[in-house]
Amino acid sequence: MSKKRETELSSLERSEFIVRKERLYGQLLAACAVLTIAVTVGIILSLSGQALTFFGHVSPIDFLTGQNWSPLSNTPSYGVIPLISGTLIVTVGSAVIALPVGLGAAIYLSEYASSRVRGIVKPLLEILAGIPTVIYGYFALVYLTPLLDAPLPIRQTIIPEWLSFSLPVIPDWVPLLPEFTLVVGEFVLVVPSISTFNALSASIAVGVMIIPMVSSISEDALSAVPDSLREAGYGLGSTKFDVSTSIVVPAATSGIVSSYVLALSRAIGETMIVVVAAGESPKMPTFPNILENFTESIETMTVAMVNIASAESLGETVAYESMFAIGLTLFAITLTMNYIETLQRSGRFQYAEIKGKAFEAILIAATLVGLVALILLFGFMFFDAFGPLSASLEWYLLFLSTLVAPVSAFTLYCRRNPAARTANARASAAVFGGLVLSLAAYIVLRAMSPYGPLVYLITVSSMPLSVAVYGRYAENSYFVGPAMVLAMLLAIVWTFGSEVLLFPLLDAVFGLGNALLGGVPVLGSIPVPVGRGLLVTAIAVGVPTLALANSVLRRRTSRAGILAVFAVLGLSAAGTAGLDRLIRPILEVLPIWSAYAGVIGLPVTGILALLITRQRGMRAGMTAAVAVVGGGLAVVAIASAVSMDPSLWVVLFFGMGVPTAYVVGEAVISDRDGRVGVAGPFIILGGILVGAYLERLLSVTGPDSWVTPTLLTNSWNGLTATEAGAYPSIVGSIMIVSFMALMAFPVGVGAAIYLEEYAPDTGWKGRLANLVELNIANLAGVPSVVYGLLGLALFQNLLNFAPGLVFSAAATLGFLILPIVIVSAQEALKAVPDSLRQASYGMGASRWQTIRSVVLPEAVPGILTGTILALGRAIGETAPLIIIAVPTTTFTTPGGLFSSGAAVPLRIFSASANFAPEYRKGVVAALAIVLLVLMLTMNAIAIVIRNKYQR
Amino acid sequence: MSEPDQETQAGSTDETGNSSLIETHVTSDTSVDTQGENPTSVVETRNLSVYYDEEQALDDVNLDIYEQEVTAIIGPSGCGKSTFLRCINRMNDLVEAATIEGELRFRGTDIYGDNVDPVALRRQIGMVFQHPNPFPKSIYDNVAYGLRVQDRTVTDEIVETALKRAALWEEVKDQLHTSALDLSGGQQQRLCIARAIAVNPDVLLMDEPASALDPIATSKIEDLIEDLTSEYTVIIVTHNMQQAARISDRTAVFLTGGELVEFDHTTTIFENPADDRVEDYITGKFG
Ligand SMILES: Nc1ncnc2c1ncn2[C@@H]1O[C@H](COP(=O)(O)OP(=O)(O)OP(=O)(O)O)[C@@H](O)[C@H]1O
Ligand SMILES: [Mg+2]
């Protein structure tokens, strides 16, 4: 007994390295959180640095009070008032639409709509907020303006005499007059015409875009009003109208105000809509006929920035610097608004005394505004992109019978059989998700040659494997985790950017060392390039060696362990020190399909083997792996036999075929009720294939669509609209978004974990955490153009990168989505019930163990949902890319992270400036549809994940 | 012979002092437990007060827990029973508002001492919570969780033994790899007990483990607790007087304000309490 006690007593003591491990992890996570402050500081520094030089040339007073903005003319003038008033016009215009409509929709959804209606309408409205703004701009310019510009007969309508008497006499100073002039004497209603670029359609588009911000946030606030308050109202005999207007809305005031402020701040910072639709003529506003301002072209602050950024070869001129001055002004304005939002100023809202049904009808109408806008937007573009009217009736009948009918029948069946529905959803996710991801991976790999990633994959994947071995022999293998991340980063940098990123840095470090050690004979005489090589090796070998030494010193030194550890070190050093150069020539002897197969197939096979081993044991796992490899080889053999390049087929086999087979197999084996459901995606695919085959066979006239394989696979050669394709931009977009996700995801999730799980409420750390949270909220409200300025200052001015690199674009957008990722990951972590953490701590788990094995697995679906939505937003971002000079037209695909890229939204932007109808209403519409479909797919995936795991 | 007992007396307040005296007499003639007449105190509490911000939850508590006994803690809602348990394994460290004064010793070591790692402490002192809180993992993984986080080898035998002792094995042996969330509330609670005993702790804290259970499941858990005392020291919070009387060796009665009014052998508490308020509480006159 007493002996037992002794061991227990000693084991109560703090274990040195558990403490150190916990501290290390906490610090790494805290670093992620603090990075967000660095982003803010970076923004402020980059803005104020250039702005200060600007104010050296132009006095701040002249800037702020000047009434003429013409930075690019021969006699430049830098008065910002016209720009501010332009911004104000658009903001006011959009507010007039969005604030009442958004609130009405929110009240309808929260107080009147059934939960089913709410479940459908709310996400539909939220789609409006996710549509790339360049598409809104295009929509406003090409569809909205002609719609608003009433044709001549309507514009000058003669009013019947009897009507004229019922019209009140409108005094001259009423702002409405010039817009809809009623010349009473002649009984003519005069509606002035609208210029091609005008503030009105831009305002409407901005208004539609921010409706969901108002409606979603307000709806959340309204739903958060406790039911007991409503019941109290009903208990006193109030009507629904009374309860909504006099109890619920006042109780939710602060939430509604916040939604207004956030929406307005978004409208102020909106760039692309205004760039595309409102033109670029800085103007002082006219008074008192305010409406006149809307019919003409204007220029906002954001437009001015884009104009300067896209003016060629400006260099460090005053005009260039003025961009930063505007940025600073914009930043200050939006920051103030966000600050106001956090102050939660409350106000009171008055409602017209409309009662009962009328009120409800108005609310429904408000909700419909958003939906109608959505339908119009998609409808117009859909028509122009696909040209559905040009197809023959036979074509419709054909696809009705091969695709629509079977799919509808199947959907009906699934509706009655929930198990089949789930199986259908899973199979569809595997088939279509696999298809999209495989194609994306193939495209990127083809652009950069798959050998580099293969080298990288081999070295990096050797690390977790070897750590598994390593972990058996070293107790504190925890150190290896962070060391591995470091090694991976080094490997990435080496593979993709050693020339641009790593070498200059190391040369600088070594040069500094050289200078310091100038007197030391040997070291001082090493040439810088050699020294750089030594440094790379030292880091790559040194970090894992330190980890090893650390563990060996603390733990029994079993011989096998040490051997294993050295094997690990050799491999990771091989990876990080860039034996790339050594391995790659060897690999390049292999046929190219094997490189594709390696990059996609190795991880897929590994994951599959692991999954099956977990579920059905080692043997089944191994069998599956062998089968998959065999299948891959068979695909290659068949493709070669019919003399096709096997690369794409191998990628599709591993990326789409294997997951599909897994999901289908699972369902067939173990899901008795739902197994029929897996047929869903195949019915769709089969329908399309059979339809397409019959269409050719029977030579049926299909629609004259602009969405063609050419569009997706051709380069933009600018000759004819039918030949033009967007392939380089598509490759660029995929690369930008994937590298952006690689950068923003770990940091964002790390910061969220720190804020939710580590940061205390009190003390200086608590205050720091509060500051970080406040800062994140503010960052989320900073307009995207301002992030563009950050990227410009950081990568082009400070690091001297070439303009418009894929890397700069990815990093800039990474900063942009960081706050969104953090906030959504925080939400997901908050949703994990505390009782689970308690249970884990109660079992003697440490904090990191609790997070890793209890909290994170629960939060992953939520984190993924938020991240995918953020990626969907980034895919359509345009303005920051223009600022960092990503080319809007490029004819070659980017060859890697450090080459100049392009992106689909930029393509839309530049093409929408082309007035030829086959561009305007053809190619651009088709591209917009492609982008929209991409974004919708991502939203759909996010929603599927959210619903699947919602408890 | 009775060094720990003397300690108890020395550290007791006036109120409990009397009962401690009685206790030394009674110890020799009660045979409620399996151990000898020399009870070792595993947890010693001296002048323990706990505050949540300004609000006091425990008021100068002195209480010893003896090895291989079941100690029941009873008292009206909000009197600080859970707080007391959560002090013993330092779960209150996770509540930023909580401040702890006084002294708590676990086998002689100051639980709140500078060198004591709460994680290591919780590996010795297991806990079953008021509401079942299984992890959203498989039944097997739930039981194995503690072993895994403590870097101990997981064997099917350990899992099976733990589940058998928690009287759950027969019901789940064919579905060990299905989610624990699919179990009924009572099964979940027994799973939480299995999870806690799988790591073989020294002391087991149970916070109303049977509060959500039907009589059959409750009696299974009571049997289990009696069975556990051959190896473990158990502290159990309960609102059920009969349960306390049935399964515990000693009983501590807390009353509102976090005051420990009486602590004695269970038979004494239920048959001949020294304090009127205890009698009132037990017979249901208040609380
Ligand atoms: N995390 C906390 N923060 C603030 N106050 C708390 C917290 N936990 C408990 N309290 C307060 O401390 C007092 C004692 O709570 P405790 O949970 O220990 O009571 P209990 O005896 O277990 O009650 P019950 O029988 O209802 O479980 C209560 O007044 C409670 O409000
Ligand atoms: Mg309690």
Within 10 angstroms of residue B230's Cβ, the number of other Cβ atoms is: 9
pLDDT given at position A52: 87
Helix, strand, or coil (residue A277):
helix
Report the alpha-carbon angle A907-A821-A213, nearest 5.
Answer: 75
Instruction: Note whether A857 contacts B120, CB cutoff 8 Å.
Output: no
| Per-residue pLDDT reduced to its tens digit, A169-195 | 444 444 433 344 445 455 555 556 677
Q: What tokens does A117 get? A: 């209606």
Mean pLDDT, chain A, whole residue set: 77
From chain A, pick out residues whose CB is under 8 angstroms from the CB of B150: 844
Residue of chain B with shortest Cα separation from A614: B177
In chain A, domain spans: 82-151+197-303+334-375, 157-191, 401-448+591-704, 451-589
Measured between alpha carbons, how far is A139 from A141 in angstroms, rounded to an integer?
6
- Average pLDDT (A139-166) is 65
Helix (H) or strand (E) run with residue A922 in it: none
Tokens 């990096």, residue located:
A460
Instruction: Note whether A8 contacts B94, CB cutoff 8 Å.
Output: no
Q: Which of B107, B117, B128, B131 to mutate to test the interface with A (most CBs of A within 10 A)?
A: B117
Q: Which of B129, B135, B192 sits opposite A854 (nearest CB)?
A: B135
Q: How confident is the model at residue A385 (pLDDT cuts 50, 70, 90)?
A: confident
Measured between alpha carbons, how far is B143 from A515 in angstroms, rounded to an integer?
61
How far does the centroid of ligand 1 lie from the alpha carbon of residue A125, in Å? 44
How far does the centroid of ligand 1 lie from the alpha carbon of residue A878, in Å? 54
pLDDT given at position A180: 46
Q: Which of B133, B141, B235 to mutate to test the interface with A (most CBs of A within 10 A)?
A: B133
Mutate to test the pocket of ligand 1, among B49, B51, B52, B93 (most ligand atoms within 8 A of CB): B52
Question: What is the 3-class SS of A441-501, one letter each residue?
Answer: HHHHHHHHCCHHHHHHHHHHHHHHHHHHHHHHHCCCHHHHHHHHHHHHHHHHHHHHHHHHH
Q: Tell me the shortest Cα–Cα distance from B86 to chain A, in angstroms.
A: 9
Say whether residue A770 is in contact with chain B using an 8 A CB cutoff: no
Q: Tell me the shortest Cα–Cα distance from B24 to chain A, in angstroms.
A: 23
Helix, strand, or coil (residue B206):
strand
- Average pLDDT (A732-742) is 86
How far does the centroid of ligand 1 lie from the alpha carbon of residue A771, in Å? 31
Q: What tokens does B241 get? A: 């007087």
- Average pLDDT (A570-593) is 64
Contact between A508 and A528 under an 8 Å Cβ cutoff? The reply is: no
Q: Tell me the shortest Cα–Cα distance from A741 to chain B, in angstroms.
A: 28
Please tell me whether the overall predicted TM-score, pTM, comes out greater than 0.80 for this model: no
| Per-residue pLDDT reduced to its tens digit, A257-302 | 888 888 888 888 888 888 888 888 787 777 666 667 777 788 888 8
Kindly give the number of the ligand 1 atom that is closest to the alpha carbon of B53: 4
Residue of chain B with shortest Cα separation from A847: B119
Distance of CA B155 to the CA centre of its chain: 27
pLDDT at B22 over 80: no
* Segment of A379-388, A542-551, B20-29, B251-260 carrying the highest mean pLDDT: B251-260
Cβ neighbors of A732 (< 8 A, separation 6 or more) are A806, A809, A886, A890, A893, A894, A901, A902, A903, A904
Measured between alpha carbons, how far is A920 from A908 in angstroms, rounded to an integer?
10
Contact between A424 and A944 under an 8 Å Cβ cutoff? The reply is: no
CATH number for domain A82-151+197-303+334-375, candidates 1.10.3720.10, 2.60.40.10, 3.90.550.10, 3.40.190.120: 1.10.3720.10
Q: How many CB pairs under 8 A join A and B?
A: 99
pLDDT at A807 over 90: no
| Per-residue pLDDT reduced to its tens digit, B43-88 | 999 999 999 988 899 988 999 999 888 999 998 888 899 999 999 9
Worst-scoring range by mean pLDDT, A144-158, A375-389, B175-189, B190-204?
Answer: A144-158
| Per-residue pLDDT reduced to its tens digit, B79-130 | 899 999 999 988 888 888 889 999 999 988 888 888 888 888 888 899 998 8
Which residues have CB under 6 Å of ligand 1? Answer: B 52, 57, 77-83, 95, 97
Between A359 and A749, name the one with better pLDDT: A749
Which residues lie at CB < 5 A from ion ligand 2? B 82
How far does the centroid of ligand 1 lie from the alpha carbon of residue B238, in Å? 14
Measured between alpha carbons, how far is A97 from B90 in angstroms, rounded to an integer?
56
Measured between alpha carbons, how far is A934 from A737 in angstroms, rounded to an integer?
12
Say whether residue A858 is in contact with chain B using an 8 A CB cutoff: yes
Q: What tokens does A625 get? A: 């792996």
Cβ neighbors of A128 (< 8 A, separation 6 or more) are A208, A209, A211, A212, A370, A373, A374
Contact between A347 and A319 under an 8 Å Cβ cutoff? The reply is: no
Contact between A578 and A498 under an 8 Å Cβ cutoff? The reply is: yes
Say whether residue A842 is in contact with chain B using an 8 A CB cutoff: yes
Nearest residue to B262 (alpha-carbon basis) of B11, B15, B44: B15
Instruction: Return the amino acid letter for A885.
Output: A
Mean pLDDT, chain B, whole residue set: 81
How far does the centroid of ligand 2 lie from the alpha carbon of residue A679, in Å? 52
Say whether residue A2 is in contact with chain B using an 8 A CB cutoff: no
In CATH terms, the superfamily for domain B4-124+201-282 is P-loop containing nucleotide triphosphate hydrolases (3.40.50.300)
Rounded to 10 deg, the angle between the A253-269 and A81-107 helix axes is 140
In chain B, domain spans: 4-124+201-282
Instruction: Note whether A838 contacts B196, CB cutoff 8 Å.
Output: no
Measured between alpha carbons, how far is A101 from A116 in angstroms, rounded to an integer?
21
Helix, strand, or coil (residue A521):
helix
Residue window 491-510, chain A: list those with CB within 8 Å of chain B.
Answer: none
Reported as half-sphere exposure (CB side, CA atoms, 13 A), residue A532 has a value of: 16
Helix (H) or strand (E) run with residue A804 in it: none
Helix-, strand-, coil-residue percentages of chain A, each rounded to 5: 75, 0, 20
Kindly give the number of the ligand 1 atom that is closest to the alpha carbon of B83: 18
